[in-house]
Structure 1
């Protein structure tokens, strides 16, 4: 991959969702962001903060990129899956060898994937991280196919990605059900994608951080420290990643001397919800290819049953993360607990409760906030600026829009769609925004923000593409 130079920041696009002309201007601006962030084979989230390829970013990027160039969207996913490990895992970062190591931490010389991960099948010729991110990829592949079935069929896109996506899911089911309850566990706060969520404060408190002097954070060169995780958080992240690397990236076994699972072992509802939706997508892919969809449907049903049994908490009105180390739920309310709205077969009473919680005091969706915050507005750790501790993110709100529509809440879905488009346009395609004011936080010209805008605009122009509508 060869890095390109980022273009100027996208100017705010006011009122972009309100008229056909405004939507056209917003589409053009979002397209410019993705074109500027394209490297020739994949898309960086940001040339400054995130100058490599990220796993779940690429899934969301492909969904939007399909509205601009289906061939490029296919290439996005194929590039990511080309770095898949022999055990089936899809790593959370694929490193661009043209980018200097000092541009991002932890860099390839920290992860040492080709050597430390050799025993579990890390590629010898591509450097990656050793952890994973939410499995949105089969859903992305299916939506990319649906955007242009003719091009997809001619290029045999689904035939190429189906075995890799199946191996990815097989890895999660076989290696990551660490609680033995039918749900996938995450081993690092970076794996569920919501890196700095207050949900991780309690599990992280038992992790001894490495000294802040032992690493150099490249993110603070490009991002406001008030928006980013603290040095203490980073010290714990590095400790966990170092331990996993030094165990050869193996998932089985226990931490030395503790007799317990990995030091950080959590069942996350959002991660599992994306896996359920992606199993349904794999069933659709299999059916299209003339193969048996039933195994994927059965997995989706089993996961849904386990998700409700293990992580649904009616008194909280949403799904909660579960700390396997202590065997207790994590009581912090996060947007991850709303993401099971994506799941098609949720019981009706749970859907109604999630809708109430989304619009209630804790998330304020449609009342005190235009976009759902990443964390409880009334929570003790709420911060409207700091990474995943309160700001609203565009990819999670895209998922909620899809979930609302799937369960028949069409008016609320339409309202959220318009809010996403308006906020993205005003913020210059920000990485995330203050959920109350819409002020841009993090970086701008962010790829998945531009991508979800392109997808929503396409569905605005063609309502027949909406979920179940």
Structure 2
């Protein structure tokens, strides 16, 4: 463990170094573009020392919004030949070269937090952003709900939890034998043992190829895409976004037709993800109805969505007491746990922060503080890594990571 003697300064310097003028890359080398949910988290970090720059981060993200309201998961502002899959592989027609899928819609929630902090200029900037946030929310409600009102992911990258065990059964049914040759970038920058396998990656690319062939026509993809999974990440973040949009609309006197109905629908969808046998919120294949049987860190986002759960709280208490550096992305008691491989075990500081927001909001202050302190100890002890081994704390993935720096500045580094 190497103590980081001035993490505040270090965190600020990371954001400044990763700033590309209007948008922030997650980390040098590994991720050279603007990622959707990374940006929303990063904006919170900027808000601690530069409110204008925080707004610009979100505003830049929405310059890539498609005419139909979708906000892509990657915006390729500048061409980088070394990155795969780049804009030529996706074949999209947005205002900025981009991917053809989304990421969890946390922008509304993080923008609300910035707005509440910015008493001088916040109202004007929020009023300008609000229609764009609403349009993206409407797009999700139109294209991503299953029959129960849960929100589906149509690509593992869309849920942001790329190689989570939640997707294993659905991925195993996919044929990616003719996906062709390609060269990954992630494994040349960081330890391949920490990343998704080639089996997974072949299927990620196959799903991109299916989307491109359909010209990203969502109506066509409803039947063409073999991967459609109702997911706690997407469902809980969309529900939270709807709640925040409603509050913003009420406080600023903005029109928000349908949001209350959306909230009810999404609450029912969230409840439908409860796996009684597992005693946890879980993912469900929308094609087959099969539950994944996976306790992930996304299962603990229930409070973030305003959904109370005594059983999840009991589970969280046990995790806080038994796992040295919680919350692991996959339950260590489960057979597929891997302490270092991306979303199959490692702890992610930004997910902890979102879980912590929810705990605080629903009055579980003691647990929120406990999680915040443990996350702070993890970052100050092991640095600003992309993610961490939940047992040893050892850093994994990319280094000098924007969202980990933002988590420190906004949440984990506060006494």
Q: Identify which of 208, 211, 233 aligns with 1:270.
A: 233
What stretches of structure 1 of length at least 5 have no aligned partner?
1-10, 15-21, 115-121, 462-469
Shift in Å at residue 356 of structure 1? 1.1
CA distance in 1, matches of 2:252, 2:358: 27
Contact 1:212 1:232 in 2 (8 A): no
- 1:101 to 2:81 alignment: yes
SS at match of 1:376: coil
Q: Identify which of 385, 396, 408 aligns with 1:430.
A: 385
Shift in Å at residue 84 of structure 1? 0.3
**Which TM-score applies when normalising by structure 2?**
0.95
Shift in Å at residue 59 of structure 1? 0.8
Shift in Å at residue 254 of structure 1? 5.8
Matches within 5 A, 1:151-166: 151-153=121-123, 156-166=124-134
Shift in Å at residue 402 of structure 1? 1.4
CA displacement, residues 85-117 of structure 1 (integer Å, 9 cap, x when unaligned): 1111100000122x4222x11111111212xxx
SS at match of 1:113: coil
CA distance in 1, matches of 2:38, 2:348: 12
SS at match of 2:157: coil
Matches within 5 A, 1:292-441: 292=255, 295-308=258-271, 310-344=272-306, 346-347=307-308, 351-360=309-318, 364-441=319-396
- 1:41 to 2:9 alignment: no
CA distance in 2, matches of 1:447, 1:136: 16
- Seen in structure 2, the aligned counterparts of structure 1 residues 109 and 293 have a Cα distance that, compared at 3 Å, is closer
What stretches of structure 2 of length at least 5 have no aligned partner?
none
Matches within 5 A, 1:73-92: 73-92=54-73
Contact 2:228 2:287 in 1 (8 A): yes
Contact 1:210 1:239 in 2 (8 A): no
Shift in Å at residue 188 of structure 1? 0.6
CA distance in 2, matches of 1:327, 1:27: 46
Aligned length: 415
CA distance in 2, matches of 1:206, 1:365: 35
CA distance in 2, matches of 1:457, 1:382: 25
**Which TM-score applies when normalising by structure 1?**
0.85
- 1:51 to 2:18 alignment: no
CA distance in 2, matches of 1:185, 1:86: 21
- 1:111 to 2:90 alignment: yes
Alignment-derived partner of residue 131 in structure 1: 101
CA distance in 2, matches of 1:421, 1:457: 5
CA distance in 1, matches of 2:257, 2:411: 30
Matches within 5 A, 1:103-252: 104-114=83-93, 122-123=94-95, 126-153=96-123, 156-177=124-145, 179-210=146-177, 214-252=181-219
- Seen in structure 2, the aligned counterparts of structure 1 residues 297 and 28 have a Cα distance that, compared at 3 Å, is farther
SS at match of 1:217: coil
Shift in Å at residue 214 of structure 1? 0.7
CA displacement, residues 290-320 of structure 1 (integer Å, 9 cap, x when unaligned): 1245632332232112211x11123322111
CA distance in 2, matches of 1:49, 1:338: 28
Alignment-derived partner of residue 467 in structure 1: none
CA distance in 2, matches of 1:354, 1:456: 22
CA distance in 2, matches of 1:423, 1:211: 42
SS at match of 1:240: helix
CA distance in 2, matches of 1:243, 1:254: 8
Alignment-derived partner of residue 445 in structure 1: 400
Runs of 4+ in 1 over 6 A off after TM superposition: none
